[in-house]
Chain A
Amino acid sequence: MKIERIRIDAFGRFSDFDSGAEPLQGLNVVLGPNEAGKSTLFHFLTTMMYGFQPASREANPYSPWDGLDASGSLRISLESSGCADIERQLRSQPSGKMTFEGTTEELRNRALPWVEAVPRSVFSQVFAVTLGDLAGLDAETWAGIQDRLLGAMGASDILPARTVAGELEQEAGAIWRPHRRGNQRVRDLQEEIGKLRVRRRDAADRDRDVRHLVGDLESSRGRLTEAKEERERQRVALERVEILTPIRARLVRIDELRAAAGPIASVEGLPTSPEDEVASMDRELARLNEQLEALLADSPSLRDTDTPDDDKSRRVLSRAEEIRALGARGAGSLTDRARSASLELDLLETERQLDQHAATVLEGPWRQLPRGALASLPMEDFRQAVGDLRSARDNRRILEASAGHSSGPTPPGPSGRLPVGAAVLGGTGLIAGSFLDLPALVAVGGGGVALAATLWFQGRQKTAENANPDEAVERAVANERSAGDRARGLMQELPIRPDLLGQPDELLVAGLDKLQGLVRDHERRTSELRDTTNRIQALETEAQALAASLGFDSTLTLDVLLQLFESEVRRAERATEVASQSERELARLGRDRGRMEADIQALALRRATLVGRLAELGKGDLRRGFQDAEAALQGHQRADQLEAELESAHPDLNAIRDRIIAAESSSESWTVTDDDLARRRVALQRLGDEIEDTAARAEALDRDLVHSRGQETVDTVDGEIATLTDEETRQVRERDRKWILAQLLREADRSFREEHQPDLIRRAGKYLSHLTGGRYDRILVDETSTGDIFRVTGPDLQQPMPLTPPISTGTLEQAYLSLRLAIVDHLDKGGERLPLFMDEAFVNWDPDRRDRGMAVLTSVSRTRQVFVFTCHPNVASALGSAGARVIELDRDS
């Protein structure tokens, strides 16, 4: 196959690239600097041959960055004849078509039919020899490269088959080996299974044991049942003799007694001693009749009892609540009367004080004061007015004194000590007066304090006032006058003593204040005395009205009336209670009489009935009836007594009676000899012991059985064995699979080498001879060697030389290239020969080697198209001289 024309519409960095109408040569040189797109060109050619990979536009790295679809075409000529035109494009899906011999075929993304023999991955790896392949010989072990060359045919993506086979054999050996050496999973499993088989045998033994135990248990239980039945028989026999026989005898006696006494119905309900009972009834009837008569005799006296039905008592009782309420209020009036007396005394004292204090401030007696004049005096305003007056007066005096010395040096104002002293003295007087209730002292104290304040104030203003003393005095006089007028105005309704009215002061204030308090106190007490007196009088009036309505003497005093009311109420209530008691007693007597009459009647009836039944028993003869009835009753009583004794001694008497009936139905005798009795007792004891032993054995067997059945069973172990056996089977299969895969790999590797190696090595030898100028002319392979399998020979060598370091790197690279060229020949042998790409392969070679390399490539290009990628113009020039077509790329291509 030969590529004749390359056209790239868009692919990676390429756009509108065309190699030209002139067909490409066998040997072509692509010249361009690094990043010019040599690698992209190789991928484009690969894509044209094999299709887009990845096949998605987004994932393909060669989708153009400008958003165009990657596309291009290729024209190839085939060795087999003919030319083909290939076009491919990567839209959202890859598309392609091929025109060959006039026929166009849709390729979609399929590879060309002439390249299918060489997978894409192999083509990419083997048909492109790069500088890295040769340079990498130093880094990669030669042994690995040899394997890759021979086994992988130069491809670098697979591991050596022998290595992989070895790994598989190792994995398989860890699972199972024919011999027993080392750990093997399958043999471990087999050992476990072996142990399980032992456990299975144990489980099978236990299963047998369980069956035996069940057999023994059932046998023991059977014997236990038999022994219990036998013991029951013996027990019944003994019981018959020892227990049932005496009871049976007593039961027989009871039956005899009852039979002799006759039917119980004939005497049922009769007293034990009928004759005594009749006599007793007669006595009781007589006693009841006597009591009835006495009762009837008591009734009239009760009817005569006094009753409180007189009008006076009824009136009193009808108003008892009112009377009690009046009594309660009467008790309260005592307090009112005491309070009234106290108030009268207080009023006298208050009036005395009023007389005394009025004389100090008033011109006349206090009683003549206009009503409310004193009480309406605004005492606080008055006190303030008096205080203002005193201040104005003091100020006037000071100013006057100052005016009198106005030509001389300014008299010193009140020193700081003077107001302080006045304040201290005034305060002390004020406090003491308040505590000692001395108005005068309070007034003095207040004046002191006011003086101190005035002095202090004057001291503060003195300097200002000194400027015009006469005007200040006039203003002070006016102030004093005004203050005095205001104080007197407040007192104008009161007859104040004239001497006090001229210069109202604190003493006047204190006197009026006291007088005002006394007048208020007098008025309050007078009012209270009036209220108390009214209440007492109202109570007396109410009591007298009640007395008159009840018919009592209404002229009596309140206290006497209240006592009378109380005693009358108590008397009326007592009379009512006595009457009520008499009524109840009469009712009771009536009931007793009725009851008594009923008792007498019932008793008489019972007597008649009893006498009738007895007469019937005696067939008309009551005496005989008495005797027959008494005898029958005694017979039944005795039988009942015997039966009660039996029931007391034998609570299960009914069951015993059933057993007696059952025993009577058998033919067993009710009498045995002592020897027989002794034998039966011994047998019973023996059976008891046997039952005890057997039950214990059965219990032990049952325990053993429960224990055994709780143990591991055969089917459980079988399940474990089956599971492990399955796992063993799986492991065995897994082991054999790995082992077979290993053998298959070895077989494939061996066959492959046998098939391909001779031709490949022969060809490689020829290439090597050309590349080394005949120094080495053959490559040999030693498969028995571990590592150095390649050897080279040449005309000048005495013996084959291992192709492995320390042989020169140049020789190694030549040998490697020889093998790669041979592999390429081998891979497409028989088909279309695919192009070979050499990327700077010889750049590190010395000139001689490079010339020989180029000569080899020139030779190869006669049968296989070769593309040499290089950035070295001299290489391109040299190859161009040898006939190569030079395609120049630049970074802007």
Chain B
Amino acid sequence: MRFVHVADVHLDTSFSGRSPAVRRRLREASRDAFRRAVDLAIREDVHALLIAGDLFDGDRLSFETERFLLDQVHRLETHHITVVYATGNHDPGSQATGPRQLDWPSNVHVAFDDTPKRIRIDGSDGLPVGYVTAIGHETDRETRDLSRLMPRPDGELPEVALLHTQVHSTPGAEDHHAYAPSELSYLIRAGYDYWALGHVHIRQELSLDPPIVYAGSLIGRRHTDTGARGALLVDVGDRDAAALSFRPVAPVRWDTISVDHLEDATSLDRLERLVESAWRSARDEEANGTAVEWMVRVQLVGPCPLWRDLSAQENVRILEHELTDMLGVLDVSVIADRVHPLVPVEEHRVRGDVLGASLRLAEAIRRGETRLDGLDPAALAGVAGDDPALVDAYVRELLTDTDGELASRLLGSEADRS
């Protein structure tokens, strides 16, 4: 049995972007990625397309996206490709507005809830080539281990399990809610030839025998979603040696580059060249980094002669605009809140005055050795609740890379002469 495994498509996800045009392109890119996955299934003449949850991003699709989705599955229908779709926490099956409202064609089988659906997958000759068993999320807060509800397969043909779950201790799982948690050891023992998983956006193989695989999100959604995104082409014809190959389909990729050593950035032009150099070297390290559009976040860090200019948001906007053209990418966002004057912080830290005391205090707080006395959580805009641990972690995060600013503010005009 040959199939394409995708997950976490998140159609109609809302993208944050600098301009409406960029946001529009990102929305289109999600659809383009799904279209390419369908193209891949047709081109590779697979038997099935498996969708491991979170096909939708919200409670419903826009009308246009809905039409697009139905058009694509109709394309698969005309090529006699079966679609098996297990709902996830973003597109739970209980909601009337979710996947239930769509008029799916006959080749699409949706697992809306915890009732296992076992779908026979036929070959071009009409004979079965394998089975896919799927369980869906009925609600958006499924806390049970749904893998335990999967029936134990006992047939002669390849058996594939399709599930949206968070396997314990999976790298990257901390970024996601722990819905439908499952145990890797159980999955391994469950008797399936392949576990097609969704939920964690980082592509990874938790087990090789049997393959227990997160396909990762079909396309990145934010700057932390780095790396190529796409679909897995799987052949489980040989039950003992499944063949997997990753096929990138995302037309847009995300990346964040941190640019430090900005001491020579004495002009906007030089700063741009430093960023360009960092970007080129980052791309050179990547073999297939040319055929996509890029969403790039540039994190400027450390002492920089332009620190005062970069504190003005309008200057940062200009920099973003010019870098977008210079790098030839879809969009660039610049984070410049960690640049500061060329202040010898370590030298000031040992001073026996308030400057030294402040720097030492900041360091102590970051290390968790002390706290700010009498800090009222309600005075903080970015903390909900008054959990001291959360507040302390937040404060520690806020104080990251602030020594330069702290010193420069206390030094005033002296900082410019440093």
Residues A142-175 near B (CB distance < 8 A): 151-153, 155, 157-159, 161, 164, 167-168, 175
Q: Which residues of B contact A726 (CB under 8 A)?
A: 16
Q: Are B411 and A159 in contact (CB under 8 A)?
A: yes
Interface membership of B372, Cβ < 8 A: yes
Type the 1/0 row for B406-417, where 1 means its CB is closer than 8 Å to any CB of A: 100111101000
User: Which chain A residue shows the least CB distance to B409?
Assistant: A164
Q: Which residues of B contact A116 (CB under 8 A)?
A: 350
Q: Are A719 and B63 in contact (CB under 8 A)?
A: no
Q: Which of A600-608, A707-715, A812-820, A843-851 contacts B (4 or more CB under 8 A)?
A: A707-715
Report the bound CA distance from A752 to B360 in whole Å: 11
Contacts A/B (CB < 8 Å), 9 sampled: A118-B352, A121-B351, A151-B353, A157-B411, A164-B412, A714-B12, A734-B337, A748-B357, A748-B360
Type the 1/0 row for B331-347, where 1 means its CB is closer than 8 Å to any CB of A: 00000010000000001
Interface membership of B175, Cβ < 8 A: no
Interface membership of B65, Cβ < 8 A: yes
Residues A84-130 near B (CB distance < 8 A): 116-122
Q: Which residues of B contact A756 (CB under 8 A)?
A: 352
Q: Are B405 and A176 in contact (CB under 8 A)?
A: no
Interface on A for B, CB 8 Å cutoff? 116-122, 151-153, 155, 157-159, 161, 164, 167-168, 175-176, 178, 186, 207, 210-211, 214, 709, 713-716, 718-723, 725-726, 729, 732-737, 739-741, 743-745, 747-749, 751-752, 756, 826-827
Q: Are A737 and B402 in contact (CB under 8 A)?
A: yes
Q: Which residues of A contact B351 (CB under 8 A)?
A: 119, 121-122, 155
Q: Which residues of A contact B27 (CB under 8 A)?
A: 715-716, 719
Q: Which residues of A contact B354 (CB under 8 A)?
A: 151-152, 158, 161, 745, 748-749, 752
Q: Which residues of A contact B406 (CB under 8 A)?
A: 741, 744-745
Q: Report the 8 A-B pairs with minimum CB-CB distance, sorted nearest first.
A: A718-B14, A719-B23, A748-B358, A722-B16, A153-B353, A722-B14, A726-B16, A748-B357
Q: Which residues of A contact B372 (CB under 8 A)?
A: 740, 743-744, 747
Q: Which residues of A contact B14 (CB under 8 A)?
A: 715, 718-719, 721-722
Q: Which residues of A contact B358 (CB under 8 A)?
A: 161, 744-745, 748-749
Report the bound CA distance from A121 to B353 in whole Å: 12
A151 to chain B, nearest CB (A): 4
Q: Are A735 and B381 in contact (CB under 8 A)?
A: yes
Report the bound CA distance from A724 to B399 in whole Å: 24
Known: A158-B412, A164-B410, A734-B337. A117 touches B64 (CB 8 A): no
Q: Are B63 and A122 in contact (CB under 8 A)?
A: no
Interface membership of B394, Cβ < 8 A: yes
Type the 1/0 row for B105-132, where 1 means its CB is closer than 8 Å to any CB of A: 0000000000000000000000000000
Q: Which residues of B contact A121 (CB under 8 A)?
A: 347, 351
Report the bound CA distance from A735 to B337 in whole Å: 12
User: Which chain B residue shows the least CB distance to A750?
Assistant: B373
Q: Are A719 and B382 in contact (CB under 8 A)?
A: no
Q: B64 is contacted by which of A709, A723, A733, A749 (Cβ under 8 Å)?
A: A709
Report the bound CA distance from A714 to B379 in whole Å: 34
Q: Are B16 and A747 in contact (CB under 8 A)?
A: no
Residues B337-395 near A (CB distance < 8 A): 337, 347-348, 350-358, 360-362, 365, 372-373, 375, 378-383, 394-395
Q: B378 is contacted by which of A157, A178, A714, A751 (Cβ under 8 Å)?
A: A178
Report the bound CA distance from A723 to B22 in whole Å: 11
Known: A164-B409, A719-B23, A744-B362. A713 touches B337 (CB 8 A): no
Interface membership of B20, Cβ < 8 A: yes
Type the 1/0 row for B278-319, where 1 means its CB is closer than 8 Å to any CB of A: 000000000000000000000000000000000000000000
Report the bound CA distance from A737 to B65 in whole Å: 40
Q: Which residues of A contact B382 (CB under 8 A)?
A: 729, 732-733, 735-736
Q: Are A713 and B64 in contact (CB under 8 A)?
A: yes
Q: B399 is contacted by which of A732, A740, A826 (Cβ under 8 Å)?
A: A740
User: Which chain B residue shows the least CB distance to A153?
Assistant: B353
Q: Are A709 and B63 in contact (CB under 8 A)?
A: yes
Q: Are B23 and A752 in contact (CB under 8 A)?
A: no
Q: Are B357 and A752 in contact (CB under 8 A)?
A: yes
Report the bound CA distance from A121 to B17 in whole Å: 46
Type the 1/0 row for B25-55, where 1 means its CB is closer than 8 Å to any CB of A: 0110000000000000000000000000000
Interface membership of B104, Cβ < 8 A: no
Q: Which residues of A contact B337 (CB under 8 A)?
A: 734, 737
Report the bound CA distance from A186 to B399 in whole Å: 21
Q: Which residues of B contact A740 (CB under 8 A)?
A: 372, 380, 395, 398-399
B340 to chain A, nearest CB (A): 12
Q: Which residues of A contact B402 (CB under 8 A)?
A: 737, 741
Report the bound CA distance from A563 to B375 in whole Å: 149
In addition to A740-B399, A748-B360, A751-B357, 19 A-B residue pairs with Cβ atoms within 8 Å of each other are A122-B353, A155-B351, A158-B355, A158-B411, A159-B409, A161-B410, A164-B410, A168-B409, A715-B12, A718-B12, A722-B14, A734-B337, A735-B382, A736-B398, A740-B398, A741-B399, A741-B405, A749-B357, A752-B357
B281 to chain A, nearest CB (A): 27
Report the bound CA distance from A122 to B357 in whole Å: 14
Q: A736 is contacted by which of B20, B394, B411 (Cβ under 8 Å)?
A: B394
Report the bound CA distance from A158 to B412 in whole Å: 7
